[in-house]
Amino acid sequence: MPAKTDWARIRDDFPILQECAHGQPLIYFDNAATTQKPPAVLDALRRYYEHDNANVHRGLHELSTRATEAYEGARERVAEYVGAASASEIVFTRGTTESINLVAQSWGGGFLHRGDVILLTEMEHHSNLVPWQLIAARTGARLRFVPVNDDGTLALDQLDALLTGEVKLFAFTHVSNSLGTINPARELCARARAAGVLTLLDAAQSAGHMPLDVRQIGCDFLAFSGHKMCGPTGIGALYARSEILEQMPPWHGGGEMITSVTLEQSSYKKPPHRFEAGTPNIAGAIGLAAAIEYIEGIGREAIFQHDSQLTSYAMQCLADIPGMRLLGPAGERGAIVGFVRENAHPHDLTTFADQHGLALRGGHHCNQPLMRRFGLPGSTRASFYFYNTREEVERMADILRKAARFFA
């Protein structure tokens, strides 16, 4: 039997959680926006800058060799983490947004034509909507959407009718950043594959919270961000199946991604370096690898169970508050609870919470079409991670009960 996880000891790895806000002990429930960083990640960044700082790939000296080994070692670690067949299927990017833009502009620009369809869902983050709007306008392709039911789940009974012959790509979120809905990624990818449609999975809200294997899921592309899983900001990754990546043209041009350049034309490296023009975020990649090591040391299944239990408890506590409306499915969900309350705009409620030391997020959460679907100007969101506690959830509930009286 595996040893019981010592969550209190793990919480001690995050001294920022001992901070105060407005004179009150901090409760950090904004993890869907960004997570906190343990010393293991900070130490990896400092170690690189103090001992190995040099540019990668192009140098013939010792520091460059060490930096290159650490950077490419990080690529190997990311490949293992997502279950890729090879490290060459991993492209380092600034995060989920840039990864999706890369696919839209490179794959989409090369393979989409007038009349083709890109299938999305009504719950997509703007990062998995706006890039497709841009490439659709450029190529003449069209967008189509899987509707969202009143309970926050996808209307999957309509999926087969939507997966017509014109559809070239189905791009969807794994976990909704507003509703907490966990979409059945493996099933959706299988149904798309049966229709001859490629798939892109936005794993921004799942990569740090649950077991994830691209070959088991069966997706063709997967995007995630390091800062949402204890890593640094400005680093993330795109996974793409090698046979697709090989066919994709460069997106950015410059140094490092070329094999030969004349004044008239250039030839390009094989993936993944074809897509990493210029000096990359070396320290970020090294920090991301350190974050992966840290998460794997805890165990993603243990993290998922912890987050699920905490989220369920939060929903129970909030449901008892007068005037509170919880959003999203009642069953299993990601570590996110979105809610609205009577007589309080989400910005006002979030500001009230902040004055009591509670860090929530209020607004449309880069989900404007989804908010319109539910007739809302926005929502307030509490999002959790493995260093959060039941006691913090209880304190949140107390603060929101005070808000109920304040906004009555």
Residue 243: other Cβ atoms inside 10 A: 9
Cβ contacts of 297 within 8 Å, gap of 6 or more: none
16, two tokens: 């920022």
- Catalytic residue of the set 20, 189, 219, 366: 366
Q: Pick the closest to residue 382 from 313, 331, 320, 330 (CA basis).
A: 313
264, two tokens: 């008239």
Q: Pick the closest to residue 219 from 204, 240, 195, 238 (CA basis).
A: 240
Check if 366 is active-site. yes
Give the H/E segment covering residue 120: strand 117-121
DSSP characters over 17-68:
GG-EETTEE-EE-BTTT-----HHHHHHHHHIIIII---SSS--SHHHHHHH
Q: Pick the closest to residue 166 from 116, 222, 118, 121 (CA basis).
A: 116
Cβ atoms of 43 and 289 closer than 8 Å? no
Q: Pick the closest to residue 204 from 87, 303, 119, 99 (CA basis).
A: 99
Catalytic positions are 366
